[in-house]
Structure 1
Amino acid sequence: MPSKRTARIGALTVATICSTVSAVVLTSPAEAESIRIHDIQGTTRTSPLVGQQVTGVEGIVTGVRTYGSRGFWIQDTRADADPATSEGVFVFTSSRPTVAVGDAVTVSGTVGEFVPGGTSSGNQSVTQITRPTITVVSSGNAVPAATVIDTKSVPKKYAPAGDPAAAGSVNGLTLAPAEYALDHYESLEGMNVQVSDTRVVGATDPFTELWVTVKPRENDNRRGGTVYDSYSSQNTGRLQIQSLGAVADFPKANVGDTLKGTTAGPLDYNQFGGYTLVANQLGTLKQGGLERETTVKQARGELAVATYNVENLDPSDASFADHAAAITHHLRSPDIVALEEIQDNNGATNDGTVAADRTVTKLVDAIKAAGGPAYEWRSIDPVNLADGGEPGGNIRQVFLFNPERVSFTDRAGGDATTAVGVTQEDGEARLTVSPGRVDPANAAWTNSRKPLAGEFSFQGKTVFVIANHFASKGGDQALHSEFQPPKRSSETQRHLQATVVNTFVKQILAKDKKAAVIALGDINDFEFSETTELLEDGGALWSAVKSLPKYERYSYVFQGNTQVLDQILVSRSVRRADGFEYDSVHTNSEFNDQISDHDPQVLRFEP
């Protein structure tokens, strides 16, 4: 799961606000009287005047930001003829700006390049004027007409390939705004822009932002989202929307809703979404009527197995009743539920506590109160601070199972550091410990959750279930990165983890090639990724989400892209079983009032 944001002010962190980037200074000084905004912006992503003092830069104020990275945007009314040069720029004041929209101003200061998130993030930079001296020439002027961003204006290609001589950076490349979407947005950086009648593809989040698309037919699905189904399907029409107005006035939108009419304001760039329309005019929210999905109840002879990331659940949370309702009603009380992100009994308090019995018991009791089964559970407490996640939280996977339908085969000896093995008895595979952890000492699991393996019996037939929570995507370069294609550094660890799980599954199948094996959980990677390929290696497993149409393959929405992170992978005997049916149950990811950022997944089959 991508890393969560903390210590945030408005749309930017304090660390981001203070971060600036220096670049090469021109050898010859710029002539102040001739400098206009398009001269400062230039034809690449970084200004040709970085580090230089400029004076008398003229513009009309188009937007004022009084929070976070405080400052204002100005735009030149005398545009040049080059489509690659922006006519707008941000003036960073640090303190609350004293200008107003419609003011004609002249600005003197230093040209800089600001990288949201810092240079190590790989993000692009924002050209700005810092340490400004501002003169208001007149007030009440008309704001330059907003440039329309729509299906026709945004190219189909996402980004150019970066310069190999510059480690893949696109910063030095001349912008081609008619050819690449990222170049088109960059050519409008700081300018007044507008979108109209845009569909929401990323619900309003706690940081008062949402995502829309200006290309309603681009990889769209029946619930209003935009599907990310390959590394080359970045979805060029996505744009983040924030607001310069009051937080209370920001719409609470779900995927599939529409911002009717015009949404307009300066085009910014930030670390949490790249190019962002910071609106001083917001369209009117028209609700699309999206409802939470409910899966089909399993038949008497069908086994229902689910995975559900409950997002750092601990006893202090207020979401237990909601999670219980989701499991009982929307998932229809699966026989086995693999939970991810169950925290210890005092949550993020870092005092050495690792037990999570209070957390799980509270959830089990809530499910029973909601009309669900009296689930029993199995898990293994991790070594303190060894499994990553929120510091002090000690997240782990937990099996819930309905004892009226399924029995758990307990074999003593499993603990945080003991590896589960596989033996054979009467021609069938057996786990040496149950529950047990898969190769917990392997370096693949450093600061990451170790897989939890359990042996279950359903109507006299053995089913092996392996609950996983692979390493997060934290540290990966964003799709909108300065580096193209962006580097996915986090997948190195997931590849190692996938290999370990695949090896363990093969050990089971070596003892019984017809064994029913299910490896499931928050894989933190896509169904088309190399991580999934390594899990499937040799035909040991197959990702069941691929049984769905492409438009239905998603469990998570990130920056307006609906995508797969949660998966259920199955051995051949499960895939070929009667009644095989997979469902990604969309209860969270598309909604502004989500109780988790993941959608649960359910598999039904007859063992």
Structure 2
Amino acid sequence: MKVSNEGRRFGLYGLRVPAVVSGVLLSSLALLVSLAPALASPNGVVISELRARGPAGGNDEFVEIFNTSAGDVDVSGYRLQGCAAASGNPSDRTTVPAGTVLDPGDHYLFTNSGSGGYSGAVPGDRTYSTGFTDFQANNASGARLVDASGAVVDGVGSPNSPCREGAGITTPATTGDNSFERRDGGRQDTEDNAADFVGPKAGGPQNLSGAGAPGPEITKIHDVQGPGAESPITGRTVTVEGVVTGIDDEIGASFGSGNSIRRFPEDAGIFVQEEPADADQNSETSEGVFVGFVRDRAAYTLGDVVRVNGRVNEKFGHTIISETINREPEKVGTTPVPDPVEIDAARAEGQDPQARPYYESLEGMRVRLAVGTANSGGTNKFGELFVTPGTEQDRVFRTETEPALIATDADAGAGDPDNPFRDPDGSTTEVEADLFDTVSGATGPLLFAFENYRIMVQEDGLPTVTDTGVTYPYEELSPSGPKQFRVASFNVENYFPVGGALDGGNVSQEEFDEKTARLTDATNGRLKRPEVVAVQEVYDLATLRALAASLGGYTAYLEEGNDSRGIDVGFLVKDGVKVEGVTQYGKTATAPDGLDCSDVPGGLFDRPPLAIEVQAKGFGGFTVFSNHFASKAAPDACREAQAAFVRDRVAELEDAGRRSIVAGDLNAFEDESALRTLEDGETSLDNLWDAAPEQERYSFAFQGKLQTLDHVLVTSGLKNRIGDFRYAHFDNDYFERDDQAEPDGHHVSDHDPPVLTLSK
């Protein structure tokens, strides 16, 4: 329930008052209002910290006062009063001795000396023996300070206490180190206890002698963030204090050779945000920040107020605080979680697309996206879903600028897996959606990672997903007819056998069987059993034969290449298609001088092209190449040289009167040098990318942008046979379903197969 400010002021907290209210109730409320102090401290002396019902019990109390002014204040004769729970009348507890003067910044400490009284290490300046009947009793207790004339200087009380200011505060009902401390180092005084005090928290009382000196200097989070893209105090060690608004419960990990894993514990931690009362008024500075290296993340819940010490860093454009070793965030209280900032769609769309200053001004803060549309495909294998604010269905392509693009991130509910890539349980905060689905109410801290801003969705901020997107299951292809011949290219993504080393672990029998069953569904149910499937990322011939056996009616072809991970290219050929020759090209080919293109020193290919000559009834003979060019991490010149090698083989075949199809994962965009080389006029090869429907020309999604890495090119002798060309989007348009009764081929890979249908 959202309580209005007026409700807080009178301590009603949503109480519905009948239209006819008794005079007793009205007069009681009037009495409470009249007794509550109405003005801020007249001389700058305030109650800066207090505790009732401390670790030793109900009398383990203290009240600390503080001179916030710039001048000396004579507090001789000042009286500490308590508001008894039974009568509600203030009564004296003790009086400050004559000659007591507080210099600017001085504190003065009152402590309870009664049975089971004050247990702190800092001695009091003045004691009292009658407690406050603890603040819990009837929500009517409190403490106040009056001067020698009896004029009220300051007061703090429970919601129904005449000592309170504003709404008052409610202390815990159990014993503990339950102090309440005035904000801004004891200086904030807005005449509303609930706004001015933070707690319950660990006590830090100070006395007139200076014992119990203040803790470390607190740096405001907006000063850490600064108004620009980078922190103005990068490299500095700071202490900040704020509210926990979220967690990231997944460390980073990367994998080397074999099963070796390198972990990055800094990637997991908590998000903290300044309390609203401590925020500045600069719209360009964020009030939130991520704290990395926090190990015991489960110890913190949303609403905990924590004190954090660490070094300010910029990590790939993300401002963070790296926790000081062996100094976990200290809990110092609890408070309501700040309301999320509603993302303004117009400001998001209108910001500079490179700097994205609007999102930067919210980095680390708790935000909420009212509604967004999944315009970059379905939820990916990293648990990310990219959306654009609003409900317009408009795909986001690599060549487009979309400044408002934002992702949901699932790491908060990851469960701290040892191996994030092989966690079998998934994430409880993953937003599962398909292309064009509508996502409403995604809430969590905003972070920046992998060149995009993203909402770290928390358990309390899971959005509603409305099925407004593509139809499930994917059924856009029909089986090829008697006068058709279908060729598809399919990067099946790490199809490894049992025992194969994959992402820091070994493939189990269960994992292999599941992958095989899902690839079977993808080939049978989504691709409708093409006559030829050029495959990439298959470990060996035995593995591909297992898929052929599962499909039934197919023969597998594969030759080992040079890749250090063992992935190769191959073919699945449907029964009835005559294969007249299988040739691996370029296993020993050399790269141009100065280029490192292969795991073999000086080699050109890790995955040499494999070609089959097929004789298709009614279509004559032609050669199909299965290719997997060097990854995007390699120089463009490597893929260009590989393309030139394949082009030259096609030229030789054309000179001999043969027709060719070049297919595969070329790891190159349609406008890059590898494709330009294949289409440079030395052959009649033509890329069919632009023959696909305009809005469906993509095979891959990367950082929220749809793009094409997989291609099919044909020579002129086959162009007049093209009946249809498209990309089968059963991978990138869908999230991975794990609750299906039957094996599901959707999202079995991160590549969408290009599919060519030849017609007579």
**TM-score, length-normalised on structure 1?**
0.70
Q: Within the alignment, does 1:254 sit opposite 2:404 as a pair?
A: no
SS in 2 for 1:155: helix
Q: Within the alignment, does 1:89 sit opposite 2:289 as a pair?
A: yes
Residue in structure 1 matched with residue 177 of structure 2 by the alignment: none
Using the alignment, how far apart are the partners of 1:186 and 1:584 within structure 2?
36
* 1:202-213 alignment, distance < 5 Å: 202-205=377-380, 207-213=382-388
Residue in structure 1 matched with residue 445 of structure 2 by the alignment: 266
Q: Within the alignment, does 1:153 sit opposite 2:153 as a pair?
A: no
Residue in structure 1 matched with residue 648 of structure 2 by the alignment: 503
1:90-138 per-position Cα deviation (integer Å, ceiling 9, x unaligned): 233532154432234444x3432152xxxxxxx3243325325755443
Q: Within the alignment, does 1:408 sit opposite 2:590 as a pair?
A: no
* 1:332-371 alignment, distance < 5 Å: 332-344=528-540, 356=541, 358-368=542-552
1:410-455 per-position Cα deviation (integer Å, ceiling 9, x unaligned): 3xxxxxxxxxxxxxxxxxxxxxxx4231464132752321111222
Residue in structure 2 matched with residue 568 of structure 1 by the alignment: 712
Preserved CA contact (<8 Å) 2:292 2:320: no
Preserved CA contact (<8 Å) 1:315 1:362: no
Pairwise CA distance, 1:469: 0.7
Using the alignment, how far apart are the partners of 1:598 and 1:205 within structure 2?
11
Distance 1:50 1:325, change over 3 A: closer
Preserved CA contact (<8 Å) 1:253 1:287: no
Distance 1:110 1:322, change over 3 A: closer
SS in 2 for 1:365: helix
Preserved CA contact (<8 Å) 1:61 1:74: yes
Residue in structure 2 matched with residue 604 of structure 1 by the alignment: 757
Moved more, 124-133 or 578-587: 124-133
Pairwise CA distance, 1:147: 2.0
Pairwise CA distance, 1:579: 4.4
Preserved CA contact (<8 Å) 1:53 1:111: yes
Q: Within the alignment, does 1:124 sit opposite 2:124 as a pair?
A: no
Using the alignment, how far apart are the partners of 1:300 and 1:99 within structure 2?
65
SS in 1 for 2:480: coil
Pairwise CA distance, 1:208: 4.1
User: 2:312 corresponds to which letter in structure 1?
Assistant: G
* 1:69-468 alignment, distance < 5 Å: 69-76=267-274, 77=276, 78-92=278-292, 94-97=294-297, 98-107=299-308, 109-115=309-315, 123-131=316-324, 134=329, 136-139=331-334, 141-155=335-349, 159-160=353-354, 180-181=355-356, 183-200=357-374, 201-205=376-380, 207-214=382-389, 216-217=391-392, 220=394, 226-230=395-399, 232-233=400-401, 236-242=404-410, 244-245=412-413, 249-251=428-430, 253-256=432-435, 258=437, 260-271=439-450, 274-280=452-458, 281-288=461-468, 289-316=471-498, 317-318=512-513, 319-344=515-540, 356=541, 358-368=542-552, 374-382=553-561, 386-388=562-564, 391=565, 394-404=566-576, 406-410=577-581, 434-438=582-586, 440-443=588-591, 446-447=598-599, 448-458=606-616, 459=618, 461-468=620-627
Pairwise CA distance, 1:63: 2.0
Distance 1:582 1:436, change over 3 A: same
SS in 1 for 2:695: helix
SS in 2 for 1:244: helix
Pairwise CA distance, 1:360: 2.6
Preserved CA contact (<8 Å) 2:234 2:313: yes
Residue in structure 2 matched with residue 415 of structure 1 by the alignment: none
Using the alignment, how far apart are the partners of 2:698 and 2:584 within structure 1?
30
User: 2:525 corresponds to which letter in structure 1?
Assistant: H
SS in 2 for 1:363: helix
Pairwise CA distance, 1:342: 1.7
Preserved CA contact (<8 Å) 2:389 2:405: yes
Preserved CA contact (<8 Å) 1:379 1:399: yes
Pairwise CA distance, 1:282: 0.9
Using the alignment, how far apart are the partners of 2:664 and 2:637 within structure 1?
18
Distance 1:134 1:446, change over 3 A: closer
Pairwise CA distance, 1:496: 2.2
Using the alignment, how far apart are the partners of 1:499 and 1:291 within structure 2?
39
Pairwise CA distance, 1:468: 0.4
Preserved CA contact (<8 Å) 2:385 2:409: yes
Q: Aligned pair count? A: 474
Preserved CA contact (<8 Å) 1:377 1:398: yes
Using the alignment, how far apart are the partners of 1:137 and 1:286 within structure 2?
40
Preserved CA contact (<8 Å) 1:60 1:105: yes
Distance 1:574 1:47, change over 3 A: same
Distance 1:47 1:314, change over 3 A: closer
User: 1:203 corresponds to which letter in structure 2?
Assistant: G
Higher RCO, 1 vs 2 (CA within 8 Å, ≥6 residues apart)? 1
Using the alignment, how far apart are the partners of 2:755 and 2:362 within structure 1?
44
SS in 2 for 1:580: strand
SS in 2 for 1:366: helix
Preserved CA contact (<8 Å) 2:406 2:453: no
Gaps of 5+ in 1: 1-31, 116-122, 161-179, 221-225, 345-355, 369-373, 411-433, 476-488
SS in 2 for 1:443: coil
1:306-337 per-position Cα deviation (integer Å, ceiling 9, x unaligned): 11122222443123233233323332222222
Distance 1:490 1:266, change over 3 A: farther
1:376-395 per-position Cα deviation (integer Å, ceiling 9, x unaligned): 3433222xxx224xx2xx22
Using the alignment, how far apart are the partners of 1:527 and 1:333 within structure 2?
27
How high is the sequence identity, in percent, across the aligned residues?
29
Moved more, 394-403 or 547-556: 394-403
Using the alignment, how far apart are the partners of 1:66 and 1:377 within structure 2?
43
Residue in structure 1 matched with residue 639 of structure 2 by the alignment: 494
Pairwise CA distance, 1:408: 1.7
Counterpart of 1:61 (choices 239, 244, 250) is 244
Q: Within the alignment, does 1:580 sit opposite 2:723 as a pair?
A: yes
Using the alignment, how far apart are the partners of 2:371 and 2:705 within structure 1?
19
Using the alignment, how far apart are the partners of 1:440 and 1:159 within structure 2?
45
Preserved CA contact (<8 Å) 2:250 2:411: no
User: 2:373 corresponds to which letter in structure 1?
Assistant: R
Distance 1:81 1:235, change over 3 A: closer
Using the alignment, how far apart are the partners of 2:754 and 2:655 within structure 1?
28
User: 2:397 corresponds to which letter in structure 1?
Assistant: Y
User: 2:333 corresponds to which letter in structure 1?
Assistant: S
Using the alignment, how far apart are the partners of 1:521 and 1:106 within structure 2?
54
1:230-250 per-position Cα deviation (integer Å, ceiling 9, x unaligned): 2x4466413232253465633
Using the alignment, how far apart are the partners of 1:503 and 1:379 within structure 2?
22
Gaps of 5+ in 2: 1-215, 252-266, 416-425, 499-511, 600-605, 738-746
In terms of Rg, which structure is larger?
2
User: 1:228 corresponds to which letter in structure 2?
Assistant: F
Using the alignment, how far apart are the partners of 1:244 and 1:556 within structure 2?
26
Using the alignment, how far apart are the partners of 1:530 and 1:156 within structure 2?
33
Distance 1:209 1:534, change over 3 A: same
Distance 1:216 1:527, change over 3 A: farther
SS in 1 for 2:444: strand
Moved more, 251-260 or 192-201: 251-260
